[in-house]
Chain A
Amino acid sequence: MRNLFIAFAAILFLASCWNTKKEEVLGYAPIYGDSTQLKKIELSTPKPYETAGKIYVYGNTLYQVETGKGIHITDISNPLVPVKTGFISVMGAQEIAVKDNAIYTNNMKDLVILRISGNTVTLTKRLPGSFKNLFDHRRPPERGRFECPNPTKGIVIGWQKKTIINPNCSY
Chain B
Amino acid sequence: MGDASNSSGAGGSTAMMTISGNYLYIVNSFTLQTYDISNPATAVLLSEQNVGWNIETIFPYRDKLFIGSQTGMYVFDNSNPKYPKLQGQAQHFRACDPVVADDDFAYVTLRNNNQRCGGTQNVLNIYDIKGVNVLNPRLVSSLNMPQPNGLGFKDNILYVCMGEAGLNVVDISDRTKPQVIKTISGEEPFVDVIPFDDLLITYIQGGLVLYDISNPANPVKLSKIAEPTL
Contact = CB atoms under 8 A, between A and B. Distances in A.
Contacts of B208: 52, 55, 62, 64, 74, 82
Nearest to B202: A55
B203 A52 contact: yes
Contacts of B30: 133
A130 B47 CA distance: 12
Q: How large is the interface on B (under 10, 10 to 19, 20 to 34, 35 or more residues)?
A: 35 or more
Interface string A135-171: 0000001111000000000000000001100000000
A112 B18 CA distance: 14
Contacts of B226: 49, 52
A102 B10 contact: no
Contact of B40 (A50, A52, A53, A125): A125
A96 interface: yes
A117 to B, nearest CB: 13
Interface of A: 48-59, 62, 64, 74, 76, 79-82, 84, 94-99, 102, 104, 106, 111, 113, 115, 124-125, 127, 130-134, 141-144, 162-163
Interface of B: 6, 8-12, 14-19, 24, 26, 28-30, 33, 35, 37, 40-43, 45, 114-116, 192, 194, 196, 199, 201, 203-208, 210, 212, 222-223, 225-227, 230
Given A48-B227, A49-B206, A134-B28, 10 more contacts: A54-B11, A55-B194, A56-B194, A58-B8, A59-B8, A76-B201, A127-B43, A133-B29, A162-B230, A163-B230
17 contacts: A49-B226, A49-B227, A52-B203, A52-B207, A53-B203, A54-B192, A57-B9, A57-B194, A62-B208, A74-B208, A79-B223, A96-B11, A98-B19, A127-B45, A130-B26, A132-B28, A143-B116
Closest 8 pairs (CB-CB, A-B):
A143-B115, A58-B9, A133-B29, A102-B40, A142-B114, A95-B17, A49-B207, A49-B227
